[in-house]
Structure 1
């Protein structure tokens, strides 16, 4: 396993070859050596390197400063600049790109190694800190939602009981041919939806204690797939390959079914207009931790306590329109939805994340506009 994946952007072939050789000797994987900034940007966005080593003065339409700014605008990837120029004007030009290091040519291999290791360590530390801040922010938000739900649910349910009760009485007393009968029916339906929303809030804020037992996730997933296939819109295909081995987790089967079904329904909804492919995969991870798992994409949602050791990973991917970064950041927030009014509560992913975390697992989302979305739910594997 390499120490990190590095992109070299350097237009001097001899220097680039020397850097590539040195980095390979240090245990890093060099993804490519690219001499032009305008070629480096799309490559970096596609391959997502762990670090970019960027020459400032490049041949072509885009210099290193411009290329670094374009990469950093869309990727959270550290950039180290290398140059033979040390004048103040050059230094001022690179500052807005927030570089993680600066190598002055010619530089020794030891200096290269120290600078790269330091940049990678700093980038990982900053990501962990941001993740911890996000977990704290999410926890505070969930606590506020739970407090609100608990505070108003009882009184709100009393009001709904009166609305639903009188609607049922009206339906029984008014003939079906009377226009009032349809009005009472609509009131009753609206009251039932409101009661379901209150129950969703209560389930989310105060998860009920469940009986946990060893369950093969493969069986639960196939049951959920049967439900999805029965309501699949035209133009959407399902690609599912059974794992071929048990994927045991200790959980409540009903909650596992809810996790699988919600993830697949979300994926299908993303392709309902234009069609596409729903890809579902189930397997074992080398680790059940967000930091070390063999299958994590960039994450939304963080590992719960106890998420170590082997894990069972459920991946659900679609080829829909994908999500912009600002939407992706809020995807697991309660009541956040991009669907039209009346077509969704915005609680699906929030509930999935709550269930997964309650079992010591984590939920991850990876999405970009135009490329679809992949959701990964990882649960600790049950002992044999």
Structure 2
């Protein structure tokens, strides 16, 4: 070990002188010899020795134990006691002071050497442990910060993906609106053309104007309702609320039904209540009472994603079986009121999902569609399982795919 610098605190001068000589013979450097606890503190501050050899009984108002406590607290310098007092009370005080050694006078030269070496080594190891503890605490603190930052990044990414998924859904809805508006716009166009012809032939009468106004307003109200449905479908709902599951499904269907039927894709909605042991139609009053406490907007977004996915599966089957005849695209939606949960299943009669793909359908940015971006099903699973505490899973067969949404009551 390196040469230790030692401060001697001993009020008997002859003993102090002999102790100083012994230490020098052992290869140590004696920084000072002081007689009181007050002087020991002053010299410890000025000289910063490696170790202090401290007599317990000293001159002045401060004894060795009090001086050792102060030196340890202020300067973190280890103290080894030298004393002829071996009574129990003195030993208990020394033990409570967390000293690094206790040598009873008179002592042997090598006994002193071993006590000093052990005290210096023990203090060194304590400092190593303190530093490692400090580094570990700093690492834990930094780790907590990093974890918090990564969680924040993950939440930001998740919100961004939800927003992106919603934009995709809004795009689908805009296409649906264009289909739903085409028919009333055609009717209004025909009425305007008829108005011009009626004027030329003098057929405009009070009855004619009344009927034209009625028919035109009917078409305009239909278009206005479409806009209202679209607005309500994407109305922000930042807080949980009780909402009807049946109504949520019907809202999704009403927005896209006409567009899908124009493309020979038909949606069938059936509801049942297993609690009463009998099948119920979708217009059953009991089924209309099924509510859950969650996020209605996000729930409808998931349903819409699943319906769109079913539509795309049907389109894919038509593309593969281009020459097949009599194929009717069908999407079946079932609502089941179970004892502890509300279950919605969305089935299609598309080609199904292959075994090599089915385990990846919920992965972000994974898609088998040529124009897909692969976030619809991923975000649907995040919404149902992370935000709503439910389950979303998929099954497949030769007759098509089935996605199941389960929300606990």
TM-score (norm 1): 0.39
More helix by percentage: 2
Rg larger in 1 or in 2?
2
TM-score by length of 2: 0.37
